Structure 1
Amino acid sequence: MASQMANIPALKDLHGQLSTRMTKAVEDFRTNLLAVRTGRASVHMLDNIRVDYYGSEMPINQLAQLSAPEPQQIVVQPFDVGTVGLIEKAIRTSGQGFNPMHDGKIIRVPIPPMTEERRRDAVKQLSGILEDHKTAIRNIRRDGNDSVKKSAKDKLISADDEKRATEEIQQMTDAQIKQLDDMFKVKEKELMTV
């Protein structure tokens, strides 16, 4: 669908900005989905874990090579052997129920099968993340509508242009929220399938 806003000089940039910001919110949600634990090992399960490395919080993937050689295990191979203990502690205290073990060089993170309760908790957590991202998209819509109203107030666009632009912003919002809902449903089904 061609943008009506792009044809209005005063709103040309606004459409691109809103579209970019909404797409970023959707991509951030997609990244969050990857980090949610399912019953199968994925290196993305460790994405949200930060390691206290010489006073600064660093993501694990910047301190080690991650792999999932088996469906029930993640292997963490630190670039610096001296960080093995720090990384193991960060994984153990992450609240995700992991019990990592190391041999001094490599950390093995067994992925226990998820219980029914753990699956429900994961869906509940994901539902909260979904709502946060929907709110972010609605806030972007509000910013867009405020810009359109200001342009109309400053007589840069006509009342008809204002109405069309507001409708188009709502269509963009609805499309992005539908995309979030669809991604959530797929992940929820994956989580609840034993």
Structure 2
Amino acid sequence: MIAEVMADAGTRMDRAVEAAKDDFATVRTGRANPQMFQKILVDYYGTPTPLAQLASLNNAEARTLVVTPYDKTALKGIEQAIRDMPNLGANPTNDGNLIRVTLPELTQERRKEYVKIVRTKGEDAKVHVRGIRRKAKDDLDALKSDIGEDEIARADKELDSLTRAHVDAIDEALKRKEAELLEV
């Protein structure tokens, strides 16, 4: 019983750390990166559809990304979705076959804004990990009547160390992303 609760908590925390890293990748640095566009949803025939399902994304140059839609009728929707994307500051150009997205040069002020955004995303991820810990702790407390208090106390310590390890992993990813953002 305890092992199942711990395994479930560990798996869910691992997913939370991976989600945080994916979230960090969507914040742009000085170069164009197709991962920045992973979370863009395009209105495709009335259905919000991820951009990656509608088009291929390729780096043409350091700050230019080429979006080639599989269906040319989606060009306008893709262009609008990229234009509406917050924190990007890019103005896509549509030539009728593909879309070129040239990212503006990052100023020091803009870099600091991005660092704040990344820190907020990191804090949200840590809150999520702590929420998983709280749920696992509640599940362990529910087992108190069936299992001895010593076993529960040991499991609590193990859960705390598991939580600490995952929070540290998020902090490490956050530190790497901040360094990447502030690199000129």
Shift of 1:172: 0.2
Q: Distance between the aligned counterparts of 2:67 and 2:117, measured in 1?
A: 25
Look up the match of 2:158.
168
Q: Which residue of 1 aligns with 2:79?
A: 88
The answer for unaligned runs of 5 or more in structure 1 is 1-9
Contact 2:24–2:121 (CA under 8 A) maintained in structure 1: no
Residue 120, structure 1, aligned to residue 112, structure 2: yes
1:157 is aligned to 147
What are the superposed Cα offsets for residues 14-45 of structure 1, whole Å, 9 maximum, x if unpaired? 11101110000001011111111101110011
TM-score (norm 2): 0.97
Q: Deviations over 1:160-181 (max 9, x none)?
A: 1111000000000000000000
How far off its partner does 1:69 sit? 2.5
| Counterpart selection for 2:58 from 67, 92, 95 | 67
**Aligned counterpart, 2:37:** 46
Q: Which residue pairs with 1:5 in the alignment?
A: none
Give 2:112's aligned amino acid: R
The alignment status of 1:55 with 2:46, answered yes or no, reads yes
- Residue 60 of structure 2 aligns to a residue whose secondary structure is strand
Out of 3, 11, 18, the residue aligned to residue 27 of structure 1 is: 18
Identity fraction in percent: 39
Q: Which has the larger radius of gyration?
A: 1
**SS of 1:108's equivalent?**
strand
- Cross-structure match for 2:128: 136
Match of 1:181 in 2: 171
AA matched with 2:149: A
Letter paired with 1:123: V
TM-score (norm 1): 0.92
The answer to whether the aligner puts 1:12 opposite 2:7 as a matched pair is no
Residue 101 (structure 2) aligns with = 109
Find the aligned partners of 1:58 and 1:98 in 2 and give their Cα distance.
21
Q: Runs ≥4 in structure 1, deviation > 6 angstroms? A: none
Which residue identity does 1:182 align to in structure 2? Answer: E
Aligned residues: 183
